[in-house]
Chain A
Amino acid sequence: MKIVMIDYGVGNLRSVHKALASVGAEVVQSDDPETILAGEKVVLPGVGAFKDGMRGLQARHLIDVLDIIAARRTPLLGICLGMQLFFSSSSEMGETKGLGFVGGKVLPFPENELKVPQTGWNQLQIDPSQPLFNGMQDKSHVYFNHGYYCEPADPSDAIARTDYGVAFAASIHRGSIYGVQFHPEKSQDVGLQILKNFVEECL
């Protein structure tokens, strides 16, 4: 399975690359539209601010490329910021428009006694029928590091939820679009299982 990781200048892609390779994928990193469009599956990683992410895609003329990938129904996995960019908009540093593949918003955690960013291992309440979670147990811990969370307009787009003051969408699935708010590449065996499932099971 040939997986293309989109390199748009936000964060280090090395760990995601190594993790995908370790579950048997043939991985290339690219910002070249033709290479990206030739991928059997595509991964949009990323850490950092929403605005920087959209700017990074725009500067490389990759927004149209992602639109084509979504229209062709090529399986697309967003990780952390990558998943957030799939949404309609984010309120991080002022309202910013996203890719709009999934209706809904990216919101800051409410101000309360909980620490922000959420840093560390939290549990997933999964929809076990989802191919992304094949072979996984409910309540598995995965590693999060984020200050904003996604709220899909259609609640059924959320296929796993995690409780951190709010029960937010830790993972989404809509058509050929998949997203994880956590870092599977940093979540030891559970994370590798999820990546393996994306590579082998998700259509």
Chain B
Amino acid sequence: MLAKRIIPCLDIKDGRVVKGVNFINLRDAGDPVEQAKIYNDAGADELVFLDISASVEGRETMAKVVTAVADHVFMPLTVGGGIRTVEDMRRLLAAGADKISINTAAVDNPSLITGGAKRFGSQCIIIAVDARRNGAGGWEVLTYGGRKTTGLDAVAWIRKAVEMGAGEVLLTSMDADGTLSGYDLELTALAAEGVNVPIIASGGAGCVQDFADVLTLGKADAALAASLFHDNQLSIPDLKSYLAAHNIPVRIT
């Protein structure tokens, strides 16, 4: 049976792992290769690296980070953050990434999705969507790290992105993000029912029960979390044992 995936996300700035809430009060949290090795040994199913560097130099460093990690851990690696062209994708895939996640650039220029999917295959292209409740029963897509509203309905946008070639969806609830009070189950389930590609749920994980909920009620295929794992509030082996005990298929290593 296909296992539900547990995915730690590492924010990278200028080649280092950083921690902080909403990109504020960032503090250094170590070397990406060392962190990746720890997660590899803990049985993480995949890693997501989000480049939050603002500078061109930072972006160039990201490719080196990907290569260093890919040379040391043999597991699926996704890279996102600041990818604006098919050439950016090519460069990061050549550096050792397996999948590319695009967010703002895809909203600004949806043909980037098709361009990437045609060149590298849909299985390589993840559409990342930051969504916030709009007060009218729906969710709106935000871009630029949650700073810009778009007027787009999140579920409609996800459908369109998948039609255009995205092979997977990384869906973050901006309402839940950082709250530790659970994923947005309603949003995640709606997205999962709307498309026939895997959904990675993100934002809001605070305890093992939250993962179980989003992988069952939320119909997600994978659950992503960042600070919860970095701060050792939750160990991946403990989490997976809990999920297995609740009849959720996971890979136990």
Known: A12-B93, A14-B94, A191-B74. A117 touches B122 (CB 8 A): yes
For the complex, give the distance between the alpha carbons of A144 and B251 in Å.
Answer: 13
- The A-B contact count (CB < 8 A) is 90
Tell me the interface secondary structure of chain B in the complex: loop
Whether B123 lies near A147 (C-beta < 8 A) is yes
Q: Does A24 contact B (CB under 8 A)?
A: no
Binds A, one of B1-9, B17-25, B229-237: B1-9
Binds B, one of A68-76, A118-126, A128-136: A118-126
Whether A121 lies near B3 (C-beta < 8 A) is yes
Measured between beta carbons, the chain B residues less than 8 angstroms from A115 are 196-198, 221
B17 to chain A, nearest CB (A): 21
Measured between beta carbons, the chain A residues less than 8 angstroms from B120 are 11, 47-48
Q: Which of A37-59 contact B (CB under 8 A)?
A: 47-49
Measured between beta carbons, the chain A residues less than 8 angstroms from B121 are 47-49
State how many residues of chain B have any CB contact under 8 Å with chain A.
34
Measured between beta carbons, the chain B residues less than 8 angstroms from A188 are 40, 73-75, 253
For the complex, give the distance between the alpha carbons of A185 and B46 in Å.
Answer: 13
Q: Does B248 contact A (CB under 8 A)?
A: no
Whether A19 lies near B123 (C-beta < 8 A) is no
For the complex, give the distance between the alpha carbons of A27 and B124 in Å.
Answer: 25
Tell me the interface secondary structure of chain A in the complex: mixed
Q: Does B194 contact A (CB under 8 A)?
A: no
Measured between beta carbons, the chain B residues less than 8 angstroms from A183 are 76
Whether B168 lies near A119 (C-beta < 8 A) is yes
Q: Does B191 contact A (CB under 8 A)?
A: no
Measured between beta carbons, the chain B residues less than 8 angstroms from A117 are 122-123, 167, 197
A144 to chain B, nearest CB (A): 8
Quick one: which of B40, B96, B222 contacts A15, CB cutoff 8 A? B96
Whether B3 lies near A141 (C-beta < 8 A) is yes
Measured between beta carbons, the chain A residues less than 8 angstroms from B197 are 115-117, 119
Measured between beta carbons, the chain B residues less than 8 angstroms from A18 are 70-71, 74
Known: A116-B197, A121-B45. A15 touches B70 (CB 8 A): yes
Q: Does A143 contact B (CB under 8 A)?
A: yes
A51 to chain B, nearest CB (A): 12
For the complex, give the distance between the alpha carbons of A175 and B76 in Å.
Answer: 31
Q: Does B98 contact A (CB under 8 A)?
A: yes
Whether B98 lies near A15 (C-beta < 8 A) is yes
Whether A120 lies near B222 (C-beta < 8 A) is yes
For the complex, give the distance between the alpha carbons of A19 and B96 in Å.
Answer: 12
Which residue of chain B lies nearest to A140 when distances are taken between CB atoms in the complex?
A: B251
B73-103 CB contact bits vs A (8 Å, 1 = yes)? 1111000000000000000011110100000
Apart from A19-B74, A188-B40, what 13 extra A-B contacts exist at CB < 8 Å?
A15-B98, A116-B196, A119-B198, A120-B5, A120-B221, A122-B1, A122-B3, A141-B251, A147-B122, A164-B2, A186-B75, A186-B76, A188-B75
Q: Which residues of B contact A (CB under 8 A)?
A: 1-5, 40, 45-46, 67, 70-71, 73-76, 93-96, 98, 120-124, 167-168, 196-198, 221-222, 251, 253
Q: Which residues of A contact B (CB under 8 A)?
A: 11-12, 14-15, 18-19, 22, 47-49, 115-123, 141, 143-147, 163-164, 183, 185-189, 191-192
